[in-house]
Amino acid sequence: MTASVISAGFHTTVQDCGRAGLRKFGVTPGGALDSVSLRLANLLVGNPECVAGLEITSGRVRLKVEVDRLVAWAGGEFEMRIGDEPIPILHCARVSAGAVIEISPKHGGRVWLAISGGIDVPEILGSRATDLRAHFGGWEGRALRDGDALPLGAESELCRRFRAAIPIGVSDWSAPRFVPRRRFLRVIRGKNWDDDIGAKLLAQKFRVAMNSDRMGLRLEGGEIGSNNPPELVSEAVAPGTIQLPRSGAPVVLLGDCQTIGGYRKIAHVITVDLGYAAQLQPLDEVRFELIELEESRELLRERERDIALFRAGLEARFG
């Protein structure tokens, strides 16, 4: 029971919802940069929402699944085909043994692919996510290469019921889109926010630098200025934290960020917009909009309610 990687694409990794509770040992939570997309893709094929799937960055990926399975994808502007048949985003599709799945970018970003049964790499420190900086987890602690053969886990009873409900092709059920199509990220004030720096962050348009990766989006093209910042004692940072290094060019931390940092934390991208941050590519433009902490927490509770509602809807139909 494997999925063979015919073309691994530009940067594809095995990810789940990440590792919890290990920050004090320097272990970053990691996992899918847009965990909502992975969770929805998993729910669509009948998996528990946090089993391991693939995170695909740009590039064209082709996989051959050796057994009958269900697949779903979510995230950015991509196209997916099984053989010649196009598979719409946020639907569940049958794939027969030996068929080839192809995923290619239209406007880029990242997508998450779930396969019924999940990708059954060994669980390390409570997760199957790939930790690229420490080289463990996922598939041999690294991004996939052509020729890798990914083991697939056993399908749940729910997966089998889903399959029975798809006589051919694609499901009549789909998931709502959670990633907003906007060109700004909503932020809340950070511990080292001040009105002068904040005004500059909010007034300008930034460009995502080429050396951005799963650790963070490095921004250029705007000037915040460093005004001789005080030396700060290192503190915890988190995905979404916007750090201001001495260069004056802000960095938005993403899922693979360090656990602590010594730069000023001027603001934080709100959790519900991290999925959008994960879609930004080098040379994309981005702006920021300030909202209040309570609003961002309410948006997050709302999102979790929406996901719970979608899960409950599937369970009501197939459970």
Partner 1 sequence: MTIHPLGDTALIIDLADESSDADQLLALSLFAADAIERARLPGVVDVTSAYRSIALFFAPGQVEQNIKEKIRALILPKRARSRGKARRTEIPVCYDNEFALDLARVAGHTSLTGDGIIALHASTEYTVACIGFVPGFPFLAGLPEKLRVPRLESPRTKVPAGSVAIANAQAGIYPFESPGGWNVIGRTPLRLFRVNENPPAFLRPGDRVRFRRITRAQFDAELE
Residues that bind partner 1 (CB under 8 A): 20-29, 124-125, 131, 133-137, 188-191, 233-241, 258-260, 265, 268-271, 293, 296-297, 300-301, 303-304
Q: How far apart are CA 302 and CA 84, in angstroms?
A: 38
Least distance between partner 1 and beta carbon 51 (Å): 18
State phi, psi for 50 to the nearest 5 degrees: -110, 15
| Beta pairing partners, 150 | 3
Residues linked to residue 85 through DSSP beta bridges, in sequence order: 82
Report the nearest approach of partner 1 to the CB of residue 122 (Å): 10
Instruction: Please state the closest distance from residue 30 (CB atom) to partner 1, in A.
Output: 10
Residue 3's nearest CA partner among 55, 86, 65 is 65
Give the residue with the Cβ less far from partner 1, 122 or 176.
122
Shorter beta-carbon distance to partner 1: residue 161 or 297: 297
Nearer to partner 1, 20 or 154 (CB): 20
Within 13 Å of residue 167, how many CA atoms lie on the same side as its CB? 0
> 216 has which bridge partners?
253
The tokens for 186 are 């909503």
Which one, 199 or 232, has the nearer CB to partner 1?
232
Cβ proximity of 113 and 153 under 8 Å:
no
Give the bridge partners for 113, in sequence order.
54, 73
> Whole-angstrom Cα distance, residue 262 to residue 291?
25
- CB of 19 vs partner 1, minimal distance in Å: 10
**What minimum distance in Å lies between the beta carbon of 227 and partner 1?**
21
CB count within 10 Å of CB 299 equals: 16
CB of 244 to partner 1, least distance (A): 15
CB of 234 or CB of 247, closer to partner 1: 234
Q: How far is the CB of 22 from partner 1 (least distance, A)?
A: 7
Q: Which is nearer to partner 1, 70 or 242 (CB)?
A: 242
Q: How far is the CB of 42 from partner 1 (least distance, A)?
A: 16
Nearer to partner 1, 9 or 137 (CB): 137
Token reading at 279: 């879609």
The residue among 17 and 95 lying less far from partner 1, judged by its C-beta, is 17
